[in-house]
Amino acid sequence: MSKFNITDFQDPNKEEIEVKQLPAYLSPSSLKEWEACPYKFYLKRMSKYKSKIKRSLSTKPAAVGTSFDIYAKSYIDVVRQGPGAKPPNIYQLVSKGVDNTEHREEAIRAGQGLLKVYLQTAGAELHDYFPIKTDLDFTKVVEGVPIRGIIDFELCNGLVCDWKTRGYGSAPKSPTPGWVKKWTNGKLVKKPHPRYRESFDTIHPDWASQVTIYNFGRGHKVGDPLMVGIDELSMRHVAVPEDIGLETVQVTQVRSPISEEFQVKLMNRLQKAWEDINNGIIQNPSPTPARCFSYRQLCEASDYCNMFRSNTELVFKNKSKKTPSNSNIMEMFGDFNKFKR
């Protein structure tokens, strides 16, 4: 076990922290977590509390997204195997993938409904690309950084693609700009989106980071011309699985370039994060509502984050639930600001 100094550039009084284990790699989600709150990354992945911190249970929209991924991957597997292939036990697979039992049944039905829509629209084109590649997960050291990831699918022309589902049980969602093809009411719209030639990193930097890191991990050379794919299912007024249909789900395909500049900056971000992690340069936690709550779920490491606990202790005493409403969160942070040192 080694000891590092926690670095806080505003505060010269450094606190010693213990590192139990260094992470073995970075992934798109771990880089995102590191950049959002290095201290949370430390607590969850490097500290002695690591094994005690439970992952937040998936929200309903996330459970539906996972279920759709499982259905779609299983579909591809069955088609690849050809006639006589044994369909997988979806219930078992979704039970494994969706940790939140409360949403599991609903996610299974919604995932099935979404697959049906997908296969009548963008998914029908998958057949043109068979055999789609099978090695979906990878770990590779790229420019000094070990990168790990599991992609959704890769077409036989080498295009790495990711599925996105948005809008289940929430406000209606419009497709992300930049699509090259769109199906509305099950019909293919003739014109692409006006921004379809733009680098996708100017449209959705977060998704662009994810798919670009996947490409790095799959052998793409940083800075070379790169195209990425997103197949998105955007829902409107879908509250229950029975609402899913061609009228309520728009399906779009993004097939866009990623700029050389973005690729280089992203590689620099990965290298800086990896260097800081390995040198124990971990900034002090700095709680804010946006950082500590995501989809109204409290940061799963907050029990071990003294800065968060000490400043919100008085408020927590009066709260029994750990998933407060938005107004509770703002109230909590209103009080938090009062008590902030």
H or E element in which residue 213 lies: helix 205-217
Residue 141 CB neighbour total at 10 angstroms: 10
Considering the complex, state which of residue 258 and residue 329 has its C-beta at the smaller distance from ligand SF4. 329
* Token code pair at residue 308: 């968060």
Considering the complex, state which of residue 77 and residue 331 has its C-beta at the smaller distance from ligand SF4. 331
Site string for ligand SF4, 194-233 (x = CB under 6 A): ----------------------------------------
Of 161, 190, 175, which Cα lies nearest the Cα of 250? Answer: 175
Considering the complex, state which of residue 139 and residue 288 has its C-beta at the smaller distance from ligand SF4. 288
Question: Could you tell me the smallest distance in angstroms from the CB atom of residue 300 to ligand SF4?
Answer: 8
Question: Could you tell me the smallest distance in angstroms from the CB atom of residue 304 to ligand SF4?
Answer: 8
Question: Could you tell me the smallest distance in angstroms from the CB atom of residue 275 to ligand SF4?
Answer: 21
Question: Could you tell me the smallest distance in angstroms from the CB atom of residue 6 to ligand SF4?
Answer: 12
Rounded to an integer, what distance in angstroms lies between the CA atom of residue 97 and that of residue 133? 22
Question: Could you tell me the smallest distance in angstroms from the CB atom of residue 89 to ligand SF4?
Answer: 37
167: buried, middle or exposed (CB in 10 Å: 19+, 13-18, 0-12)? buried
Considering the complex, state which of residue 33 and residue 69 has its C-beta at the smaller distance from ligand SF4. 33
Number of residues engaging ligand SF4 in binding (CB under 6 A): 13
**Residue type for 170, please?**
S
Rounded to an integer, what distance in angstroms lies between the CA atom of residue 283 and that of residue 276? 10
Q: Between residue 277 and residue 336, which ones bind ligand SF4 under the rule CB under 6 A?
A: 285, 287, 291-292, 299, 301-302, 305, 308
> 257: cis peptide before it, omega within 30°?
no
> Do the Cβ atoms of 307 and 285 come closer than 8 Å?
yes
Considering the complex, state which of residue 101 and residue 288 has its C-beta at the smaller distance from ligand SF4. 288
Considering the complex, state which of residue 285 and residue 324 has its C-beta at the smaller distance from ligand SF4. 285
H or E element in which residue 92 lies: helix 90-97
* Token code pair at residue 185: 């009411």
In 100-192, DSSP assigns E strands to 137-142, 145-150, 153-154, 160-168, 181-184, 187-188
Considering the complex, state which of residue 161 and residue 292 has its C-beta at the smaller distance from ligand SF4. 292
Question: Could you tell me the smallest distance in angstroms from the CB atom of residue 54 to ligand SF4?
Answer: 14
> Do the Cβ atoms of 76 and 132 come closer than 8 Å?
yes
Question: Could you tell me the smallest distance in angstroms from the CB atom of residue 41 to ligand SF4?
Answer: 9
Tracing tokens 């709550």 back to the chain, one arrives at 293
Q: Between residue 11 and residue 40, which ones bind ligand SF4 under the rule CB under 6 A?
A: 37, 39-40
Interacting residue ranges for ligand SF4, rule: CB under 6 A: 37, 39-40, 43, 285, 287, 291-292, 299, 301-302, 305, 308
